[in-house]
């Protein structure tokens, strides 16, 4: 049809099923610049200055200047005089004028150099902006080898017989003691039930509007999928009627003070380390986007922050580190002892006492609707993931 319509610049395959084509695209836009790194005025005044300097050191300076071509240079000088300046020197000239000519040419040379530097800085500003916009792409390739160990490759673990299910089962046995504590009290279930019943009957949750959910999805920095297979860009691009359906379901969940069973699940992808593995928790994307719109926790943090808190809204980890180092250096210089206490990651990993957390949160007047949903999500079943395979931790 395109050929019949007279379109000649078509490929053999047109449409969604065409063969992929690889194109080499420069990181920086290729713009054509003339005299970007050169200046005719700067070249002229540099030549005139050096010629006048050579003539001034000669015995017969005026004769030497004429031999070196100073008269012809003076004739074309009017084309290179900066705007707003005068240059009334014409040949023939005196010995004193030849000395002044070297000084004037040097001043105009510096002026032309400053002007070119200023123009060049503006062009480099645009270049730096282009590098800034593409630095994230370059960083991925620069740091690719350094972060290669993060990918889990079954070829490097032949003990599992290259079977992903056997490999995940072995890893699950290592992680289950952290996620399924043997000393969990049977009263935890009753505490969660009482909290849910109280929130559902006595408290009014902060509901979410479709516009707020779309705004939360648009401002989400990453585009990775959550445990519910939703991505932020997918949510942001949904039509209003579909987005309203999602917010209605989330609001029903809030009014009932319970997490929908489809979302009561946490996915833990395995990431490599220098030695062994670690995991990250992928909660459902809808849970994340909804939590980002709730302002009750932020208000509580602002109202309950102390001078000792370094993790508050508007705080900087860099400022906190600089302050600690300054205090340590001041103490050391005054002859005092400096000590640092670090928590062992293996000892404290995922060992939160949920019952104690609930009671402490209630005493601290933490927003109970948020606490209720967060506690249910924290206690939800978990599954280890490696590639396209997963293995659920027993509840």
**How many Cα atoms sit within 13 Å of 344 on the Cβ side?**
2
| Confidence at residue 249, expressed as pLDDT on a 0 to 100 scale | 92
Distance CA 227, CA 263 (A): 8
φ, ψ for residue 387, nearest 5 deg: 65, -125
Residue 275's pLDDT is 77
Mean pLDDT over 100-117 rounds to 88
Taking the C-alpha atoms of residue 390 and residue 382, their distance in angstroms, rounded to an integer, is 10
Does position 131 have pLDDT exceeding 80, yes or no?
Answer: no
Residue 140: its pLDDT value, please?
64
- pTM of model > 0.75: no
Write the secondary structure of 160-205 as one string of H (helix), E (strand) and C (coil).
HCCCHHHHHHHHHHHHHHHHCCCCCCCHHHHHHHHHHHHHHHHCCC
**Residues 6 or more apart from 312 whose CB is under 8 A from it?**
301, 302, 305
Q: Yes or no: say if 230 and 286 are a contact pair by the CB < 8 Å rule.
A: yes
Task: Dump pLDDT digits (tens) for 222-270.
Answer: 888 888 888 999 999 999 999 999 999 999 999 999 988 888 888 888 8
Q: Which helix (H) or strand (E) holds 130?
A: helix 95-142
Positions of E strands within the chain: 266-272, 277-279, 382-386, 389-392
- pLDDT: which is higher, 177 or 361: 361
Out of 193-197, 232-236, 318-322, least confident range: 318-322
CA-based nearest residue to 226, from 211, 206, 246, 252: 246
Enclosing H/E stretch for 108: helix 95-142
pLDDT given for residue 86 in this prediction? 83
pLDDT at 127 over 90: no
With vertex at residue 215, the alpha carbon angle to CA 213 and CA 216, rounded to the nearest 5 degrees, is 65
pLDDT at 17: 47
Confidence of residue 90 (pLDDT cuts 50, 70, 90): confident
CB 232 within 8 A of CB 114: no
Domain boundary assignment for the chain: 40-142, 155-306+318-392
Helix (H) or strand (E) holding 217: helix 210-218
Cβ neighbour number for residue 66 with a 10 Å cutoff: 15
DSSP 8-state secondary structure symbol assigned to residue 26:
-
What pLDDT, on a 0 to 100 scale, did the predictor assign at position 311? 74
Residue 201 pLDDT > 60 = yes
Return d(Cα 233, Cα 220) in angstroms, integer.
8
State the Cα–Cα distance between residues 196 and 191, nearest whole angstrom: 9
d(CA 119, CA 367) in angstroms, rounded, equals 57
| pLDDT for position 16 | 46
At 11 the pLDDT is: 55
Among 232, 271, 268, which Cα is nearest to 378's?
Answer: 268
pLDDT at 47 over 60: yes
**If you ran DSSP here, which 8-state letter would residue 81 be given?**
P
pLDDT score of 63 more than 80:
yes
For the record, the structure tokens of 87 come out as 């240059």
């Amino acid at each position: 049809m395109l050929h019949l319509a007279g379109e000649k610049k078509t490929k053999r395959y047109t449409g969604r099923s065409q063969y992929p084509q690889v194109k080499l695209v420069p990181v920086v836009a290729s713009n054509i610049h003339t005299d970007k790194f050169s200046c005719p005025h700067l070249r002229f005044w540099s030549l005139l200055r050096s010629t006048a300097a050579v003539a001034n050191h000669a015995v017969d300076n005026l004769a030497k200047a004429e031999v070196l071509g100073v008269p012809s240079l003076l004739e074309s000088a009017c084309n290179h005089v900066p705007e707003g300046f005068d240059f009334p020197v014409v040949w023939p000239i005196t010995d004193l004028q030849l000395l002044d000519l070297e000084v004037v040419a040097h001043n105009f040379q510096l002026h032309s150099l400053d002007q070119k530097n200023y123009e060049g800085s503006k062009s480099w500003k645009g270049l730096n902006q282009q590098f800034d916009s593409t630095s994230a792409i370059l960083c991925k390739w620069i740091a690719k080898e350094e972060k290669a160990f993060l990918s889990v490759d079954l070829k490097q673990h032949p003990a599992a017989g290259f079977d992903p299910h056997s490999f995940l089962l072995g890893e699950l046995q290592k992680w289950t003691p952290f996620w399924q504590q043997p000393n969990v009290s049977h009263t935890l279930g009753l505490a969660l039930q009482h909290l849910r019943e109280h929130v559902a009957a006595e408290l009014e949750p902060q509901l979410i509007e479709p516009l707020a959910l779309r705004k939360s999805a648009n401002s989400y920095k990453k585009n990775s999928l959550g445990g519910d297979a939703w991505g932020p860009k997918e949510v942001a691009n949904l039509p209003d009627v579909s987005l309203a359906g999602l917010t209605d379901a989330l609001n029903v969940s809030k009014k009932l003070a319970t997490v929908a069973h489809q979302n009561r699940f946490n996915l833990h992808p395995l990431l490599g380390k220098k030695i062994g593995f670690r995991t990250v928790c992928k909660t459902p994307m809808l849970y994340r986007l909804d939590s980002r719109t709730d302002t009750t926790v932020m208000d509580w943090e602002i109202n309950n922050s102390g001078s000792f808190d370094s993790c508050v809204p508007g705080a900087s980890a860099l400022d906190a580190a600089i302050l600690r180092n300054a205090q340590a250096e001041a103490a050391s210089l005054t002859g005092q002892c400096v000590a640092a206490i670090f928590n062992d990651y293996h000892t404290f990993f995922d060992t939160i006492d949920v019952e104690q957390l609930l009671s402490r949160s209630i005493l601290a007047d933490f927003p109970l609707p948020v606490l209720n949903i967060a506690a249910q999500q924290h206690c939800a079943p978990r599954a280890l993931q490696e590639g396209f395979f997963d293995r659920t931790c027993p509840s």
